[in-house]
Structure 1
Amino acid sequence: MIEIFSGLERHFRPQALAPMFQLRKRVFHDLLGWDVTVRGDVEIDQYDDVNPIYVLSYTPGTRHLRGALRLLPTLGPNMLDDTFPSLLGGRAAIRRTDIWESSRFCIDPEISQDRASNQVTVAAAELMCAVGELGLASGIRQIVTVTDVFLERMFRRMGCPGTRIGEPQKIGSVHAVAVSWDVDDRLLADMKAIAGISGALLATPPEMRIAAAA
């Protein structure tokens, strides 16, 4: 089950987004040991202050948060252009209305470590397909992201191979790489077929209003 939130709701409905920031702290700080900004039990950085869109995957019924990601328009501050420009491979910064950045992709470590469950696959597929639906409905032509080579392989298995913008580089403890995906009907259909997802993940029009206001 997918829900979309705007960054403004962090201030008006903090309880709705608190589990996501807590999950990010558990994944990026506690598990991966990344150099991220931690405030108590949450991970929040400067890009959370520029009204991003958050895509969250919940377990139906229990509303347990399975995974999340963040979307930012590249016309404004974003991680690839402003924090990791070396991953552009010498190319100019990406600043276009129809290209958005996905960042802070994370899955609950508890379900990631449960090899008997397919929840990790379901959550990852839901998040990526929701981005595809949101992009198609909002005029987003391309998604870019900074990821590590492990997640890059996972995206390929999900039917979302993408294109490397530059060569991988060692950043901290991981080999990071910038990847781009074209947002189109074929890619979305391929991902849904592999994941066994039928029908739309996003309700309309609320999610579309959120994207338009970002």
Structure 2
Amino acid sequence: MIEIISGAEGEKHAASLAEVFRLRKRVFHDLLGWDVNVRDDIEIDHYDDANPVYVLSRSPEGRLRGALRLLPTLGPNMLDDTFPQLLGGQPEIRSAAIWESSRFCIEPEISQDRASNQVTIAAAELMCGVGELGIASGVSHVVTVTDVFLERMFRRMGCPGERIGPPQKIGSVMAVGIAWEVNDALLDRMKAVADISDRLVDPALSLGKLRAA
């Protein structure tokens, strides 16, 4: 089950966003040991002040399984402004038709259960939700900063994307910038791999409408 939250309505969805920020702290700080900004039991950064759109995957019982954040590249974004070395010497990506996905994370209890397929379900829901939102919004590409481990997972999900530049060692992580073309063929392929037949996002929703809410 997908939940979409606009940063502009953060106060209205404060409880759900608190769940996301606590999950990010458990994943990026506690589990992966990244150098991220932690306050008490949450991980939050200045990009969360830039009116992002959050995509959440929940279990049928309502438990948060995973989340990610979307921002337009015309404004502040991690690839251009924090990790430009991953552009491989190419110009900054600044386009109304290109959005960035960041802070992709899965609940650690799920990700460490090797006998479960919950990681695949959660990750597929997140990626397909982004695909549906992107198509409804006229987005041409989604870019992200990720590590080579998640890059392999994306390939297994049927959405390999293209490297923007060569991988670079950032801290303890071998990071890479990835770009996906947003289209029906990619969405159909991801849904087929994950055995998702239903639409995940209200077709009336678009990224522009969400940020203007």
TM range (shorter): over 0.9
Is 2:52–2:211's contact at 8 Å kept on the other side of the alignment?
A: no
Give every structure 1 segment of 4 or more consecutive aligned residues whose post-TM-superposition deviation is greater than 3 Å.
206-212
Alpha-carbon distance between aligned partners in 1 of 2:19 and 2:207, rounded to the nearest angstrom: 23
Query: Is 1:22 aligned with 2:13?
Result: no
- The Cα shift of 1:184 comes to 0.3
Q: How many residues align?
A: 213
- The correspondence of residues 42-191 of structure 1 with structure 2, limited to 5 A, is 42-60=42-60, 62-191=61-190
CA contact (8 A) 2:52 2:71 kept: yes
Q: Which runs of 5+ in 2 are unaligned?
A: none
> Structure 1 residue 17: deviation in Å?
1.0
State TM-score, norm by structure 1.
0.96
Q: Which residue of the partner structure matches residue 201 of structure 2?
A: 202
Identity %: 70
Deviation at 1:115, TM superposition (A): 1.3
Q: In structure 1, how many angstroms separate the alpha carbons of the residues matched to 2:157 and 2:13?
A: 33
Rounded Cα–Cα distance in structure 2 between residues aligned with 1:121 and 1:27: 17
Aligned alpha-carbon RMSD (Å): 1.3
Q: Do the aligned residues in 2 keep the contact of 1:53 with 1:210 (CA within 8 Å)?
A: no
Deviations 1:63-105 (A, max 9, x none): 1000000000000000000000010000000000000000000
- CA 1:67 to 1:210, structure 2 compared with 1: closer, same or farther past 3 Å? farther
| TM-score computed with the length of structure 2 as normaliser | 0.97
- The equivalent of 1:36 in structure 2 is 36
Q: CA deviation at 1:199?
A: 1.8
Shift in CA distance, 7/101, structure 1 to aligned 2, threshold 3 Å: same
Which ranges in structure 1 are unaligned for 5 or more consecutive residues?
Answer: none
